[in-house]
Structure 1
C-alpha cells in the first residue's frame, strides 16, 4: 500500500480513524486509535510513542533494573513507524483499518528492545545468505465461560471451562459452541490470519489451530495477531481465552510450536529436502538442526519466557525437556517432518503458547542460521524412543531464573541477537523471575500456615 493508494481507499470508504499496534517485549499488543489526519501526517516519518512500553512489564509495573528507559531517562518519546504492508481490516470492529508498527528508524538504528525489529534483522540476514525462511506457529489455548470481571471476582479460582472433559479431535464438542467455533475460523481468515485447521485438543475447553505458513516476519505478524484476535472474538461470545503455558497442574499445557523451512530466493525449492540423502534431509537442513540444538540451552527464555512456561516443560506432559531431535517423534525438542518436499520442515516443540512470536521465531531462525554459518555437523543421533529419557546431550533449564542467567552470560546469545537486545531482554526476564520469587502462593499457605 502506497500513501496515495491509502488516501484513495480512505476516501472511497469514508475512513476517519485508524488503529495501529506493536508488540512489546512480552508479545502484548500496545497501540492507539488515531485520526486519519494524524495517520497521514506520520506515514513517512513515524510518530512519537512514550518509551515506557519498554520500561514496564505486562502489568504496567516499571522495571527496577531497566537501562533502555526508566525514571533515569524520564520516559521520553521514541520513534514508532507503521508498516504499510501490514494493512488489514478488523471484521469484528466494523472493518476498522489496522496496521502493525515497530520501533524502527529511517537511519536503520532500530531500538534493540523492539521484537519485530529484531526479527526483521534476522530475516534480512537469512536473505543475505541466499535463503527465504518460511515459518508458521500453531497454538493451543483454553476457553472459559468467564469475563475479565467474573474472573477477578473469583480471584482467578475455578474458572468454568467452555466444555467439560477430555475430548481431543472431537467433532461433537465444538457443535455446542458452533457460532464461536466458526467465527474463529471465518473472522481470522477475513483478518488476513488464515487458518489451516482448528480442532479440540485433550482437555476441557481447549482448542488448537494451525496458521498458514508465510515468510518469517509475516508469519510472526499473523501469530501475534492471532492471539489477540482470538481473545477479542471470545469476548464477543461472553468467553475468555488464555494462552498460558500451563493454567492447571492436572491438565496438559499449551504449546506454540514453530514450523520452519528454508527456500531459495524465488521460493521455488525447499532447500531442506534431498531425496538422495539419509532421512531425505539435505546437508543444509542438518546444519540448521545442529545449530538449533547447539544454541537451544543458551536462548531458552525466548521459547519459554515466563515463570509459568517451565510448568509445561516437564516430563510426560507432551512438551520436551531434553536437547534432542527426531524423525516424527513428539517427545523431542525438534521434530523433523520430511515425507514430501513441499512439506519438509522442522517443528520446534519447545516454544509455548505464551511466547512472543517475534522473539520465538527470531530465536528459531537465528539459531538455525548459526548452524549453517558455522558449518555445524549434526552429531547428535536422532532419538527413536522416549525423548524424555534421552538426556546424554543435555536437558533444558528447569526455571526462568536459571535460563535467564545462562542466556545473559552466553556469548552465543550475543552473537545471535546483539548485546543491546540480550541485555534488555534478560533484565526483563530477571524482573519476571524475581516477581514470582517474592510472591506467597496459595500452595505455601495451605502447606505451611498451620503446620510449621
Structure 2
C-alpha cells in the first residue's frame, strides 16, 4: 500500500490509533501506540524516538561500554521511520493497524545499530549481485501454564508445562489444547505470518512452527513478529511462551533454523539447483557450493549473530540436536549446514546453528552476508560432506563454546568488518561483551548446591 492508500484506509474505517514497533539489538520489539494525526505527520519525515533503545540491554539496564549513545550523549532522539509496506492488522487486538519501523534515513544511510537496516543493506548487496534471496525461519518454543506475575513470584523455578511428557508430532496434544492451537494457526495467518506447519516437538509443552518462505527482509519481519505474536496469543489463553534456547538441561533446546536459497532476479529459477550427478555435490550448483563455503568460512567469525545470549551455548552441545562443528551434509541433522536438494523447487540450505533466541534480522543478515562472501570470493567447497555423526567431525573447526569467546573472536575479525562494517561490529560486540560480563558476576543455584556446604 502507498502512504496515501494507508491514510485513506484509516479515514474510511474511522481508525484513530495505530501501533508500530521495531526490533532492538536483542530482537525485542519496542514501540508505541500513536494517534492517526501523529501517524500522518510522521509519514514523510519519521518520528523522534529516544536512542536509549540502542544504549540499554533487554532489561533496560544502560550499557557501561556503549559508544553509539549513553550518558555521554544525553540520550537524544533518533529518527525512526515506518515502513508502510509492512501494514497489517492485529486480529487479537480488534484489528488495530500495525507497522514495522527501522532507523533508516531517506538518503539511504541508517543508524549503525539498527538490525533491520543492516539486513536491508545486505539484501541490497544481494540484489546488486543479481540474486533474489528467499528465506524462512522455523521456531521451537515451550509453553507454560503461567503468567508473567506467577513466574516472577516463583523466581522462574519449576514452571508448569502446558502438557506433560515427551510427545513429538502428537495428534493428541494439540487436540487437548485445540483452542490455543487453532488460535495460533488462524491468528498468525490473518496477521500475515502464514505457517507451513505447526506441531508438537519432543518435550513437555513444546511446539514447532515453520513460516512460509519470503524475500529475505519480509522473512525476517515475519520471524520477528512471530515470536511476539505467539507470546501475545499465549497470554490470551493464560499461558507464557518461551523462546529461550535451553530452559532445562534435561530437555532438548529450541532452534530457530534458517532455510535459504538464491533465485534469479525474476524468481523463475532456483540458482542453488543443478541437474548434475557429481557424488556428494549431486544437484548442487557451483553457486550453492560457494554459498556454503562462505557460510562455513565465516561462521566462527560471526557466531554471536546466531547465538547471541549466554543461554544460546547451552543448546550448542553434543547430542542435543544442535551443531557444534563447522560442517555440512546432505540431509543430516548433526551438522551446522544441512543441504536439501532433491527437487529444484525445494532446493535450499538449512542453517542449524541459529536458535529460537536469535534476533531474526541479525541471524538472516549473517546467513546471507556470509553466503554472499563465498560467492564474491569464489570460494570452493573443499570441506567434504560429513557422513554420519557430525559431532565427531572436528577437523575443520568447532563453533565457539561460550558467548565471551565468540564475542572476542568477532570483535577481532576483519571478516566480520567486511560483512557488516566496523561501526556495527563495534556496537554489537560491545553489547555481547556486556551480556557476558553480567553473567560472570552472578552466583548460580548450581554453585550454591555444589560448594555452599562441602567445599
TM score, norm. by length of structure 2: 0.99
**Residue 429 of structure 2 is aligned to residue 426 of structure 1:** yes
- Distance in 2 between residues matched to 1:376 and 1:248, nearest whole Å: 39
- 1:11-410 aligned at under 5 Å gives the runs 11-278=11-278, 279-410=282-413
Deviations 1:196-230 (A, max 9, x none): 00000000000000000000000000000000000
Q: Which aligned segments of 4 or more residues in structure 1 are displaced greater than 3 angstroms?
A: none
Helix, strand or coil at the partner of 1:331: coil
- 1:432-443 aligned at under 5 Å gives the runs 432-443=435-446
Q: How many residues align?
A: 452
Deviations 1:317-356 (A, max 9, x none): 0000000000000000000000100000000000000000
- Distance in 2 between residues matched to 1:451 and 1:289, nearest whole Å: 50
- Distance in 2 between residues matched to 1:2 and 1:158, nearest whole Å: 49
- Distance in 2 between residues matched to 1:185 and 1:339, nearest whole Å: 28
Greater shift in the superposed pair: 165-174 or 102-111: 102-111
- Distance in 2 between residues matched to 1:204 and 1:305, nearest whole Å: 25
* 1:112 Cα offset (Å): 0.5
TM score, norm. by length of structure 1: 1.00
- Distance in 1 between residues matched to 2:189 and 2:8, nearest whole Å: 24
Helix, strand or coil at the partner of 2:177: helix
Helix, strand or coil at the partner of 1:275: coil
Q: Cα RMSD between the aligned structures? A: 0.5
Deviations 1:350-384 (A, max 9, x none): 00000000000000000000000000000000011
Cross-structure match for 1:446: 449
* 1:3 Cα offset (Å): 2.2
Deviations 1:75-132 (A, max 9, x none): 0000000000000000000000000000011122200100000000000000000000
Deviations 1:170-204 (A, max 9, x none): 00111111000010000000000000000000000
- Distance in 2 between residues matched to 1:395 and 1:10, nearest whole Å: 53
* 1:24 Cα offset (Å): 0.1
* 1:276 Cα offset (Å): 2.0
- Distance in 2 between residues matched to 1:42 and 1:156, nearest whole Å: 41
- Distance in 2 between residues matched to 1:277 and 1:369, nearest whole Å: 25
Helix, strand or coil at the partner of 2:438: helix
Greater shift in the superposed pair: 274-283 or 65-74: 274-283
Unaligned runs of 5+ in 2: none
- Distance in 2 between residues matched to 1:91 and 1:299, nearest whole Å: 37
Helix, strand or coil at the partner of 1:123: helix
* 1:6 Cα offset (Å): 1.3
Helix, strand or coil at the partner of 2:98: strand
- Distance in 2 between residues matched to 1:439 and 1:433, nearest whole Å: 11
Deviations 1:372-428 (A, max 9, x none): 000000000001110000000000000000000000000000000000000000000
- Distance in 2 between residues matched to 1:8 and 1:388, nearest whole Å: 57
- Distance in 2 between residues matched to 1:139 and 1:276, nearest whole Å: 33
- Distance in 1 between residues matched to 2:75 and 2:89, nearest whole Å: 32
- Distance in 2 between residues matched to 1:286 and 1:298, nearest whole Å: 19
* 1:277 Cα offset (Å): 5.0
Helix, strand or coil at the partner of 1:11: helix
- Distance in 2 between residues matched to 1:119 and 1:277, nearest whole Å: 35
